[in-house]
C-alpha cells in the first residue's frame, strides 16, 4: 500500500479505511481523488491492491499500468505490478517491473525477495541468490511477508541451500520472531542453526517448539541431538529415553538414540548392540512381503542399489563412495542411488554424474520398496545406518534379494532386515563377529578407501620452530569425558605441548568456555588449548599445517578426519576399542602402513604420543614423505579396493 506522498486530505482517510479493512469505503475515496487528480499515483496503486484482493486482476493491471507511467511513481507501484504479472504467469514482465521497483526504491526488501524467487523459478540461480541475500539484509521486522505466507520461508531455504548461512539464519530468525506460535518457523530456525553448528541457539528454538506442542516428534529428536552436540551426554540420554517412552515421539527418536550411544564410553559393546536390536524390532512388519528371488546370473551383471541421504555438501559418505562408483561404472556394474535429501547442491550434481540417482525424499516406505523391486536390484546397500535422513525402516519391506550396510555407519545396525555388514579384519575380526547382527563381509585392507575430494590440498610442511602441537578436527560429540581425560594425560606427559581443537561447535563462545573448564578439571591450563571455528573445506584442511600429531578420540574413533590427517602428512595416534567404531583408527592406520602409532591401552596411547612429540622436528621435515607413502598405500588404492568390493558383491548375490 502506498502511504507516503504529497496527498490531499481524503487520501489519508482512504489509507486508514483500507488499513482497517473497509475496502469499499477506501475504494470510493480513492476514486473521488482520481476524479479530481487523474494522475494520483498513490490512489491508482492502492486501488490496484484492492482490485487484486477482490479478484479483479484486469482492473488491478489497468490501475497499475496508469500509475507506472507517472514520473513520480514510487517503487511500491512497480513492486505491485511485478506481483500482478507473476500472478498472470508473465515472469519476464514481472522481473522487469521488480527491477524497476528496486531502482526506484533500493531499500524495498520485499521487492528483492520477490525478484529472487522469480529468478530462481526462471533458472537463474546466481542472480536469484544475489537478490535474496539483499532481501535478507533489508527486511524490516514488520514486513508482512515475514508474518504470513510462504515467500519468506522459501527465500530462507534457498539461501540455506546456497550455503548463505548468515543471511539464511537471519531470515529464519526474523520469521520465527514474526510467527511466535508457528511450529514450522521455529523448527526451520532450529534446523538451520544445527547445520551451522550453533547447537546452543538451536536448542532454544526446539524447546520453543516443544512448548507449543509437547508431543512434537521433530523437537523430541532434535533436543537430545543438540545436547549431544554441546557435550551434555547424560542430559541427552535422559531426553532420548523420555522421547522413546512417549508413543507420539518414539519413532522419530529411535535411530538418533542408537547413533548417540556410540559416543558413550560407559556402555559395553554388547549393551550397545542390544539397544540396536531392541529398538529396530519396532520396524518389523506383521506380514512383510516376500523377498524378490535372486536373479540368475546376477554375479555376471550386477545391479547395485545404494540408499543414502548424504550426497550433499562435503559429506564423508559422498567423499568415500564417489571414486568407487566411478570405478564400478567402468567395470560395467549397473548402479542406482536412492537419495533421501530434501535439496540438491554441487555435491549432488557431481554424484549424479557418477550414478543414476532417484530422489526419494518424502516417499513412503512401501512406495520406495516397490520402486527398488521394479528396478531389479540384486544387492541393496544402506549407506546411512542410523544417521540423519536414513531409510533403514524401509528395508523391512524386503525390497531386494540381498541387503548390506557399509561406510556410513561404523557399527552393526542391529536390524534383522540387513543381511551383511561390510568391514575388514581390523574393525570386525573373527573374534568380534558375534558383536554384530549382520554377517560380516571383510575387505582385505580397510573398510573404506580414500581418494582426495575436490579442494583437498597436499601438505606444505610445518615451520620447524615451536613446541609440539597435538590436534583434532573431530566433531564435538566424540570429545566425551573419556577422550578429554586421555588427552589431558597426553598433555601432562608432554608439558610444553599444546592442543588444537577445531570443530563446528566451537563457533559458539560458550562452548569454548565449557571445554576449557572440562580440561581444567583434568589439570590442563586454558592457555594450552587452541580452539578454532569451522571453515569451508579447503581452508579447514589448512588446520593440519598448524599441528604436528593428530589424536584420535575414544570410544568412537575418527574416520574421515584420520584419512585427512594421514593425507596431509600428519601421524595419528589411535587406541584400539572393542567394536567397529572404536577400531576405525586401527583399520585406517594399518591400511596406510602406519601401525606403529596404534595403541592397545591408554598407557600405550600416551606413550606413542609422547614418543612422537619427542620426534617433532623429524615429523615436520617428513610430512611430504608420509603423504607420499599414504598416497601409494592400500588406503588410497581405489582400483584394488573397488575390485575387492565388487568381488564381495558377487559373492553374495
396-428 pLDDT, tens digit each: 999 999 999 999 999 999 999 999 999 999 999
- Which pLDDT score, from 0 to 100, does residue 7 have? 66
Which grid cell is 509?
A: 563462545
H or E, element range at 29: helix 23-36
Closest residue by Cα to residue 316 from 511, 456, 161, 157: 456
Q: Retrieve residue 397's grid coordinates.
A: 519391506
CA torsion angle for 498, 501, 506, 507 (degrees, to 10)? 100
Q: What torsion do the CA atoms of 381, 385, 387, 388 make, to the nearest 10 degrees?
A: 50
Residue range 586-602: mean pLDDT, rounded: 98
Q: 418, 404 in Cβ contact below 8 A?
A: yes
Q: Measured between alpha carbons, how far is 122 from 82 in angstroms, rounded to an integer?
A: 14
Report, as an integer, the average pLDDT of 245-250. Answer: 95
- Render pLDDT for 460-512 as a digit per residue (tens, 0 to 9): 877 778 999 999 999 999 999 999 999 999 999 999 999 999 999 999 999 99
**What is the pLDDT, as a whole number, of residue 2?**
60
Report the distance separating Cα 600 and Cα 331, nearest Å: 40
Please provide the distance, in angstroms rounded to a whole number, between the alpha carbons at the two ends of the chain.
67
pLDDT at position 1 is: 62
- 94: left (phi > 0), else alpha (psi -120 to 50), else beta? alpha
Per-residue pLDDT of 224-239, as tens digits, reads: 999 999 999 999 999 9
Going by DSSP bridges, is the β-strand pair 439-443/549-551 parallel, antiparallel, or unpaired? Answer: unpaired
Nearest to 525 by CA among 548, 503, 551, 497: 497
Could you give the CA distance from residue 567 to residue 635 in angstroms, rounded to a whole number?
A: 10
Percent of the chain with pLDDT over 90: 92
User: What is the rounded average pLDDT of the residues 236-253?
Assistant: 96
Strands (E), 562-635: 572-575, 598-599
Q: Give CA–CA dist 263/229, Å, rounded.
A: 11
pLDDT of 149 higher than 60: yes
| Backbone region of residue 512 per phi and psi (left: phi > 0; alpha: psi in -120 to 50; beta: other values) | alpha
Tell me what percent of the residues of the chain surpass a pLDDT of 70.
99
- In whole numbers, what is the pLDDT of the chain averaged over residues? 95
CA distance 128 to 157: 12
Residue 342 has pLDDT above 90, yes or no: no
- At residue 15, the pLDDT reads 93
- What are 429's three cell numbers? 575380526
Mean pLDDT over residues 102-107, rounded?
A: 96
Bridge partners of 379? 304, 402
Kindly tell me if the per-residue pLDDT of 5 is higher than 80: no
Residue 143, Cα to own-chain centre: how many angstroms?
A: 30
CA distance 351 to 422: 22
Q: Which pLDDT value is given to residue 314? A: 81
Pair 168, 161: CB distance under 8 Å: no
Whether cis (ω within 30° of 0) applies to the bond prior to 123 is: no
Mean pLDDT score, 516-538: 95
Residue 180: the pLDDT is 97
> Which residues, 6+ apart, have CB-to-CB distance to 2 below 8 Å?
41, 42, 45, 46, 74, 76, 77
The span from the CA of 115 to the CA of 128, in Å, is 7
Amino acid at each position: 500500500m502506498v502511504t507516503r506522498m504529497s496527498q490531499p486530505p481524503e487520501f489519508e482517510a482512504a489509507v486508514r479505511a483500507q488499513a482497517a479493512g473497509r475496502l469499499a469505503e477506501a475504494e470510493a475515496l480513492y476514486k473521488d481523488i482520481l476524479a479530481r487528480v487523474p494522475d494520483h499515483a498513490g490512489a491508482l496503486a492502492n486501488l490496484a491492491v484492492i482490485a487484486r484482493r477482490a479478484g479483479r486482476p484486469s482492473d488491478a493491471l489497468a490501475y497499475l499500468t496508469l500509475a507506472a507511467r507517472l514520473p513520480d511513481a514510487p517503487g511500491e507501484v512497480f513492486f505491485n505490478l511485478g506481483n500482478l504479472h507473476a500472478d498472470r504467469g508473465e515472469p519476464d514482465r514481472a522481473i522487469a517491473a521488480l527491477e524497476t521497483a528496486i531502482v526506484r526504491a533500493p531499500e524495498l526488501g520485499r521487492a528483492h525477495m520477490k525478484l529472487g524467487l522469480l529468478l530462481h523459478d526462471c533458472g537463474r540461480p546466481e542472480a536469484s541468490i544475489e537478490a535474496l541475500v539483499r532481501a535478507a539484509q533489508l527486511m524490516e521486522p514488520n514486513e508482512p511477508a515475514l508474518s504470513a505466507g510462504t515467500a519468506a520461508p522459501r527465500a530462507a531455504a534457498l539461501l540455506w541451500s546456497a550455503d548463505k548461512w548468515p543471511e539464511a539464519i537471519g531470515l529464519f530468525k526474523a520469521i520465527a520472531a514474526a510467527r511466535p506460535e508457528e511450529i514450522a518457523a521455529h523448527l526451520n530456525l532450529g534446523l538451520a542453526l544445527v547445520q551451522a553448528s550453533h547447537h546452543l541457539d538451536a536448542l532454544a528454538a526446539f524447546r520453543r517448539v516443544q512448548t507449543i506442542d509437547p508431543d512434537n516428534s521433530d523437537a523430541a529428536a532434535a533436543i537430545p541431538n543438540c545436547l549431544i552436540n554441546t557435550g551434555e551426554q547424560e542430559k541427552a540420554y535422559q531426553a532420548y529415553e523420555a522421547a522413546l517412552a512417549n508413543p507420539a515421539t518414539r519413532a522419530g527418536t529411535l535411530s538418533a538414540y542408537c547413533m548417540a550411544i556410540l559416543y558413550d564410553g560407559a556402555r559395553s559393546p554388547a549393551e550397545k548392540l542390544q539397544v540396536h536390536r531392541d529398538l529396530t524390532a519396532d520396524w518389523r512388519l506383521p506380514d512383510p512381503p516376500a523377498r524378490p528371488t535372486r536373479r540368475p546370473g546376477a554375479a555376471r551383471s550386477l545391479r547395485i542399489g545404494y540408499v543414502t541421504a548424504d550426497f550433499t555438501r562435503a559429506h564423508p559418505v559422498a567423499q568415500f563412495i564417489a571414486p568407487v562408483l566411478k570405478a564400478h561404472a567402468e567395470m560395467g556394474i549397473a548402479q542406482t542411488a536412492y537419495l533421501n535429501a530434501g535439496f540438491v547442491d554441487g555435491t549432488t550434481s557431481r554424484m549424479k554424474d557418477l550414478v543414476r540417482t532417484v530422489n526419494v525424499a518424502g516417499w513412503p516406505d512401501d512406495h520406495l520398496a516397490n520402486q527398488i523391486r521394479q528396478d531389479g536390484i540384486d544387492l541393496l546397500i544402506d549407506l546411512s545406518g542410523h544417521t540423519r535422513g536414513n531409510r533403514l525402516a524401509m528395508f523391512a519391506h524386503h525390497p531386494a534379494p540381498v541387503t548390506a550396510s557399509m561406510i556410513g555407519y561404523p557399527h552393526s545396525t542391529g536390524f534383522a532386515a540387513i543381511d551383511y555388514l561390510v568391514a575388514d579384519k581390523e574393525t570386525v575380526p573373527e573374534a568380534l563377529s558375534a558383536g554384530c547382527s549382520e554377517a560380516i563381509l571383510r575387505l582385505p585392507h580397510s573398510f573404506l578407501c580414500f581418494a582426495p575430494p575436490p579442494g583437498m590440498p597436499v601438505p606444505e610442511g610445518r615451520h620447524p620452530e615451536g613446541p609440539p602441537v597435538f590436534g583434532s578436527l573431530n566433531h564435538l560429540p566424540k570429545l566425551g569425558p573419556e577422550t578429554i581425560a586421555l588427552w589431558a594425560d597426553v598433555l601432562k606427559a608432554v608439558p610444553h605441548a599444546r592442543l588444537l581443537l577445531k570443530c563446528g561447535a566451537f563457533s559458539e563462545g560458550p562452548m569454548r568456555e565449557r571445554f576449557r573448564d572440562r580440561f581444567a578439571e583434568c589439570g590442563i591450563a586454558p592457555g594450552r588449548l587452541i580452539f578454532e571455528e569451522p571453515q569451508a573445506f579447503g581452508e579447514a584442511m589448512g588446520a593440519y599445517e598448524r599441528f604436528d600429531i593428530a589424536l584420535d578420540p575414544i570410544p568412537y574413533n575418527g574416520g574421515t578426519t584420520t584419512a585427512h590427517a594421514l593425507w596431509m602428512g600428519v601421524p595419528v595416534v589411535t587406541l584400539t576399542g572393542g567394536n567397529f567404531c572404536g577400531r576405525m583408527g586401527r583399520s585406517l592406520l594399518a591400511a596406510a602402513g602406519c601401525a606403529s602409532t596404534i595403541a592397545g591401552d591408554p598407557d600405550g596411547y600416551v606413550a606413542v604420543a609422547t614418543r612422537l612429540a619427542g620426534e617433532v622436528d623429524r615429523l615436520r621435515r617428513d610430512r611430504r614423505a608420509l603423504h607420499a607413502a599414504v598416497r601409494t598405500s592400500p588406503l588410497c588404492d581405489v582400483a584394488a579396493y573397488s575390485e575387492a568390493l565388487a568381488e564381495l558383491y558377487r559373492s553374495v548375490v
